[in-house]
Structure 1
Amino acid sequence: MHVDEQWVGVSSRYLGVEIVASILTAVVLCAICVPFILLQTWFGWPALGVAIVLSVVLLVLAPRRVRAIGYVLRADDLLFKRGIMWHRVVAVPYGRMQLIDINRGPVARALGLSELKFVTAAASTGVTIPGLPEQTADELRDRLVALAETRRVGL
């Protein structure tokens, strides 16, 4: 990576999507514990305690997870990063992009956000950039399609 590269982060509104996902996870974790509490098993209440602690940790770390996501357009590829503990940095060469897909889930759509998904020949290099404003996602998709076409001509 070059020092002069400017990473572009996702929209701060994406935090809303992460919070909703964290709350839904918390509800599911707590709901799993309810039958064990009702059956009066010895681990029902401790499991609920663990579920609540995990839920709080997810909510507390949500802003940091959002800030850890970013991308940079370089001369020959797109560089994508994410992760707090397990950092993932992926370079996707423009010439290898086969499909650029825009997805808008219900919560993201309500917040005016999209996610951009890149499909390449190698399944392991699938990259998804969440939390992009809709217009930014559309413009980035068009730009990347054009870049991919110019790079593919030489193949």
Structure 2
Amino acid sequence: MEKSVMDLPEILKEQFGGETADIRTYSPLVLAYIGDGIYDLVIRTLIVRHGSCQPNKLHKRTSALVKASAQSEMIDKLMESLTEEELAVYKRGRNAKSYTMAKNATMKDYRKATGFEALMGYLYLKGETERLVSLVREGLGDTWAEEKKEEDRA
């Protein structure tokens, strides 16, 4: 069976060896760090799957979905769907004291986005990629439909 980038933690372990630390002990900011990257990759993949276009259009479409305010809205939509474990990871990320902040975000949106990214990182490292993608799909909901309409008009 072909492996995908979502299997990357397993592939890295196979290729480089070693044991992975217990992800429950990771700093929420470390989870957010990897979660930011994997969420960005998921969104970029969704955007690119709909066809080739100019890189600046790809960037604009991606940026609209990965910015802190969009992630903040997404986690609001997902709160009812999160398990207790997922909610705890989100809250740890949201409450983590970061010394930086996104330039075009409120502190509230930035913290919620950090919690969302921590959850994405946790699910990814835990190998629960189907759950991760399912939450992204649910969170995008109408936003994704609107993006598709804009894309079709362009």
Q: Which has the larger radius of gyration?
A: 1
Q: Which TM-score band applies after superposition, normalised by the shorter structure?
A: under 0.3
Which structure has more relative contact order (CA 8 Å, sep 6+)? It is 2
- Larger helix share, 1 or 2: 2
The normalised TM-score by structure 2 is 0.25
- Larger strand share, 1 or 2: 1
The normalised TM-score by structure 1 is 0.25
